[in-house]
Amino acid sequence: MAEEGQQNIQNLALQHRELQKRAQTIQQQINMLQMSVDDCGKAITTLEDLQSFSKNPDTLVSIGAGSFVNANIANDNKVVVDVGAGISVEKNFDGAKTTLNKRKEDLQNVLEQMNQNLEQINQRIQSIESIAKQQQQQPQQ
C-alpha cells in the first residue's frame, strides 16, 4: 500500500514537472506575442506621426533604442506592409494602418487565448501540489 502511495506521488511529481515545462514554454510564447503586439502599436503610432508631419518631408525617424535619424520622406503617401508569408505590399497610410490594426487585434486574441491556457495549467499545477501535499500527510496521520 505504501508503494502505491509512493508511486502515485512520483506520478504527480512527473506531471508537475511536465506542466511546469509547458507553462514556461507558453510564457515564452506570450512574451514573444506581446513584443509583436507592441511592435504593431509602435508601427501604427509612427504611421500616425508621419501622416501628421507629411506637410514637412524632413522629419526624425526612430531607428530604435531611443535613437533617431533625420529623414526626407520622398513618397509620403505609400507604405510597404508585410502581409504574411514573406510577402510585402505597398499601401496608402490608411490601408497600412488598417492592416496593422487587424494584425494587432489578431495577435491580442491569440495572446488572450495563451494567457487562458497558462492560467489553466497553473491551476492544474496548484491542484497537483495540493494533492501531493495531502498524500504526503496521510501516512503521518
Q: What angle do CA 45, 46, 47 make, to 5 degrees?
A: 90
72-109: burial string, b at 16+ Cβ within 10 Å, e else: eeeebeebebeeeeeeeeebebeebbebbeebbeebee
19 vs 139 pLDDT, higher one: 19
For residue range 94-121, list pLDDT tens digits in order. 999 999 999 999 999 999 999 999 999 9
Q: What is the pLDDT, as a whole number, of residue 72? A: 76
Which residues have a Cβ under 8 Å from the Cβ of 99 and sit 6 or more positions away? 81, 83, 91
CB atoms within 10 A of CB 135: 14
Nearest to 132 by CA among 23, 8, 1, 21: 8
Rounded average pLDDT over 118-128: 95
Q: What is the pLDDT, as a whole number, of residue 8? A: 82
> Is the pLDDT score of 66 beyond 60?
yes
Q: What is the pLDDT, as a whole number, of residue 26? A: 97
CA distance 41 to 55: 23
To 10 degrees, the CA torsion angle through 41, 43, 49, 52? -110
In terms of DSSP H, where are the helices of the chain? 2-52, 93-137
Element (H, E) at 84: strand 79-84
Rounded average pLDDT over 24-38: 97
> Is the pLDDT score of 45 beyond 70?
yes
Average confidence score pLDDT of the chain = 87
Does this model's pTM top 0.85? Answer: no
> Is the pLDDT score of 4 beyond 80?
no
CA distance 49 to 32: 26
Q: What is the pLDDT, as a whole number, of residue 55? A: 62
For residue range 72-89, list pLDDT tens digits in order. 777 667 889 998 898 999
